[in-house]
């Protein structure tokens, strides 16, 4: 997918002109003391790269230019999956630059600022990958010297952590360059020896990584303050607080690892990145153990395993349908071929794969280990993400997962014939020109307030900013300005799900999708139209009998034939309108979902203009007979 340039500051235009013919500048990614980072397409190799450009006014300073070029030379020596690769370092038309691999996602700093303290398991995975990357660099004589959250990239999709910005790295382990009074490194993450200007080795980076872990797990820094010099003195002389003293919920094993990273003496810390990664690995096992269900569930019954496989397959099929719909809307005639997606009808493959899973003598004969359930699903082509979502659903509400399972084939066939459509899901998506965090906050306020009045029931699959799904219950009709008439009482949908995703190619835009399952309401609709058809047949039969009775008086004929004909005609007429009426209800439901998203858009624009969202109107209660029917 091509990325379009966003509006960029005027100082990017000369760079675009200078590099034209070799790099096509797409947009700005960020900027700092050592230059501007731009997203560009390498025209010769046709790939996206991140260009770090040193402006000419800074390149005039020999020491600044040397530091800038040293970053490229040092990073180019490193080839590791958790270190951003450097492809080229050059100077064209007065602009010194180097081209790096482009990692689409966000920084760890952005994630912490957006979400606050992060789940322990997520923090451990990030720290381990960064520890491996630093161990690799340290083994080659390179100390990063500026390890901080904003220099750790989190790749979207894979979740891989990638270290970047070796701009002040040194390979000779000498003290920082301070002749000009410039402090190299970020004060909140500096080791005591770096703050004191002493010789450094790789253990200084591990101290910084401990500060990052402290921040990610507690939401605060070991030493805080507004004066950089005071923070430097604190790092050099004061003992940091124990992690569990400020974040008691952090598992003890993990807190002990972070506390050891923050020891004042380098000799008291971990000897190297591999040792730290090993300790984090052991802590991760403790974290995962603590995250299990209260009953210590490590296995699923065969029935639950079947539910997980079927539901995961359905979720993946729904995601494929939403993606295909979006692609058709944005690409016109282009068609999406989702060869890896497993439709609901292919659930037998998952079952067969599950039967080949590794057995465990310690488990009942009808039980499956969770990892075997996941492995069987992946083998059948179902993404592990949808297995996790299905598992979250099962744990949150087993009955909801049961209701979401496919109906018997005969009922599916009947519904398709009756309603003239095989559509079982409905999704609407809207793009917002704002960061996901800001949109999420407005979304929560707007949709949970009157007149929409949604009630948040659960979050599945993690935090919404990390791909989790918000599950909302729809309100009953108690408001005169009721907004869910066709969703709740037309297609009989009791809940809807909302997900956010960063818009491709932009950190300042996101897409919100509202998704509903029409399957839960099929039985009610079939029954409803059946009752109407039955009532219509009875009414038609009475009319036919009346006509027959009159004819009998006139001609002496029997009344049975006209009564039967009237009943059949009335029943057929009702059933014939079921399909068009049901599809009309789906369109009305889609309009209600679109209106909900439009409300978020209005609130976002109101905040941009007035600094606050519009005040929703107060609810006006009305009497509704629908509540007496259990709605």
The HSE-up count of residue 241 (CA atoms within 13 Å, CB side) is 14
Predicted pLDDT at 123:
94
Q: What is the pLDDT of residue 523?
A: 80
In a domain, 545, yes or no: no
**Does one domain contain both 215 and 160?**
yes
Q: Confirm whether 235 is domain-assigned.
A: yes
Are 111 and 27 in the same domain? no
Tell me: do 502 and 452 sit in the same domain. yes
Binding residues: 52
Q: Do residues 267 and 309 both lie within one domain?
A: no
Q: Computed from CA positions of residues 74, 76, 78, 81, in that sequence, does the dihedral angle turn out positive or negative?
A: positive
Q: What is the pLDDT of residue 209?
A: 97
**Which residue, of 290, 315, 338, is where some domain finishes?**
290
Is the same domain home to 166 and 96? no
Same domain? 193 vs 221? yes
Residue 594 lies in a domain: yes
pLDDT at 272: 95
pLDDT of residue 323: 54
| Domain membership flag for residue 558 | no
* Domain finish residue from 101, 121, 145: 101
Verify that 307 and 277 share a domain, yes or no. Answer: no
Binding residues for ATP: 52
DSSP, residue by residue, 524-549: HHHHHHHHHHHHHHHHHHHHHHHHHH
Half-sphere exposure of 203 (CA within 13 A, CB side): 17
Q: What is the pLDDT of residue 8?
A: 42
Residues 258 and 132 in one domain: yes
Is the same domain home to 219 and 313? no
d(CA 484, CA 607): 25
Domain assignment present for residue 343? The answer is yes
- Position 224 scores a pLDDT of 87
The domain spanning residue 118 has which CATH number? 1.10.510.10
Q: Please check whether residue 480 lies inside any domain of the structure.
A: yes
C-alpha span between 236 and 101 (Å, rounded): 36
For residue 464, the model assigns a pLDDT of 83
Q: What is the dihedral of CA 345, 349, 354, 356, to 10 degrees?
A: 160
- Residue 439: closest CA among 340, 538, 366, 507: 507
Stretches in the chain below the pLDDT threshold 50: 1-9, 171-184, 293-296, 330-364, 536-542, 545, 548-549, 552-559, 563, 566-567, 570-571, 619-631
Same-domain pairing of 304 and 256: no
- The pLDDT score that the predictor gives to residue 327 is 52
For residue 580, say if its preceding peptide bond is cis, omega within 30 degrees of 0: no
Describe the crossing of helices 302-331 and 370-379 by its angle, rounded to 10 degrees. Answer: 40
Question: Is 530 contained in some domain?
Answer: no
Task: Give pLDDT tens digits for 278-336.
Answer: 999 998 887 766 655 444 455 666 666 766 766 676 666 666 665 555 555 544 433 33
Answer yes or no: is 560 within a domain: no
> How far apart, in whole angstroms, are the C-alpha atoms of residue 421 and residue 444?
33
pLDDT number for residue 253: 93
185 Ramachandran zone, left/alpha/beta (phi>0; psi -120 to 50): left
Within 244-392, strands assigned E span: 299-301, 367-369
The pLDDT value recorded for residue 314 is 66
Same domain (yes/no): 116, 258:
yes
User: Which spans in 160-301 are helix H?
Assistant: 192-195, 202-218, 228-237, 243-246, 252-261, 273-290
Of 381, 406, 431, the position where a domain reaches its end is: 406
CATH number at residue 456: 3.30.530
Here the CATH number for the domain that contains residue 86 is 3.30.200.20
Pick the catalytic residue: 146, 205, 304, 458?
146
The number of distinct structural domains making up the chain is: 4
Three-state DSSP at 235 gives helix
- For residues 83 and 175, membership in a common domain is answered with no
Please name which of 351, 547, 512 lies closest in space to residue 439, comparing C-alpha atoms.
512
The yes-or-no answer on residue 293 being catalytic is no
Domain of 133, in residue numbers: 105-290
């Amino acid at each position: 997918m091509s990325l379009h340039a966003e509006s960029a500051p005027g100082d990017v235009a000369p760079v675009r002109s200078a590099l034209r013919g070799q790099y096509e500048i797409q947009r700005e990614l960020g900027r700092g003391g050592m230059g501007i980072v731009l997203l560009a397409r390498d025209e010769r190799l046709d790939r996206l790269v991140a260009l770090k450009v040193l402006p000419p006014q800074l390149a005039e300073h020999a020491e600044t230019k040397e530091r800038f070029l040293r970053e490229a030379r040092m990073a180019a020596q490193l080839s590791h999956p958790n270190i951003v690769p450097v492809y080229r370092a050059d100077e064209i038309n007065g602009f010194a630059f180097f081209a790096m691999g482009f990692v689409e996602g966000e920084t760890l700093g952005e994630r912490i600022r957006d979400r606050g303290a992060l789940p322990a398991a997520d923090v451990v995975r990030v720290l381990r990958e960064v520890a491996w990357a630093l161990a690799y660099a340290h083994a080659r004589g390179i100390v990063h010297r500026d390890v901080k959250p904003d220099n750790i990239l989190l790749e979207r999709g894979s979740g891989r952590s990638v270290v970047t910005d070796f701009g002040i790295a040194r390979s000779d382990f000498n003290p920082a360059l301070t002749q000009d009074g410039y402090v190299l490194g970020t004060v909140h993450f500096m080791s005591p020896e770096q703050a004191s200007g002493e010789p450094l080795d790789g253990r200084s980076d591990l101290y910084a990584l401990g500060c990052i872990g402290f921040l990610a797990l507690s939401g605060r820094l070991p030493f805080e303050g507004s004066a950089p010099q005071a923070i430097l003195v604190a790092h050099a002389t004061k003992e940091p607080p124990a992690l569990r003293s400020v974040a008691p919920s952090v598992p003890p094993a993990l807190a002990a690892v972070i506390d050891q990273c923050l020891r004042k003496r380098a000799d008291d810390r971990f000897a190297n990145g591999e040792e730290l990664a090993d300790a984090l690995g052991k802590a991760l096992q403790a974290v995962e153990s603590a995250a299990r269900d209260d009953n210590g569930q490590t296995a699923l019954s065969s029935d639950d395993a079947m539910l997980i496989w079927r539901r995961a397959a359905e979720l993946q099929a729904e995601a494929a349908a939403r993606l295909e719909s979006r692609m058709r809307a944005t690409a016109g005639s282009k068609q999406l071929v989702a060869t890896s997606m497993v439709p609901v009808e292919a659930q037998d493959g998952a079952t067969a794969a599950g039967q080949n899973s590794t057995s465990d003598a310690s488990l009942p004969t009808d039980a499956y280990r969770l990892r075997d359930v996941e492995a069987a699903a992946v083998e059948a082509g179902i993404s592990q993400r949808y297995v996790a979502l299905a598992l979250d659903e099962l744990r949150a509400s087993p009955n909801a997962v049961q209701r979401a399972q496919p109906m018997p084939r005969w009922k599916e066939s009947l519904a398709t014939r009756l309603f003239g459509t095989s559509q079982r899901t409905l999704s609407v998506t809207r793009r917002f020109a704002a960061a996901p965090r800001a949109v999420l906050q407005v979304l929560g306020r707007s949709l949970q307030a009157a007149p929409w009045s949604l009630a948040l029931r659960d979050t599945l699959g993690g935090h919404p900013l990390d791909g989790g799904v918000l599950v909302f219950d729809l309100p009953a009709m108690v408001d005169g300005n009721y907004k869910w008439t066709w969703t709740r009482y037309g297609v009989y949908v009791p809940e809807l799900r909302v997900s956010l995703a960063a818009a491709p190619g932009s950190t300042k835009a996101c897409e919100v999708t509202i998704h509903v399952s029409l399957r839960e309401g099929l039985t009610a609709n079939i029954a409803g139209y059946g009752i109407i058809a039955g009532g219509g047949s009875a009414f038609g039969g009475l009319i036919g009998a009346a006509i027959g009775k009159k004819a009998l008086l006139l001609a002496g004929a029997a009344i049975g034939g006209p009564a039967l004909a009237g009943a059949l005609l009335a029943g057929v007429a009702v059933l014939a309108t079921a399909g068009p009426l049901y599809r009309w209800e789906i369109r009305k439901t889609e309009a209600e979902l679109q209106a909900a998203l439009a409300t978020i858009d209005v609130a976002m624009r109101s905040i941009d203009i007035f600094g606050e969202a519009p005040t929703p109107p107060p609810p006006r209660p009305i009497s509704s007979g629908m509540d007496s029917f259990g709605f």
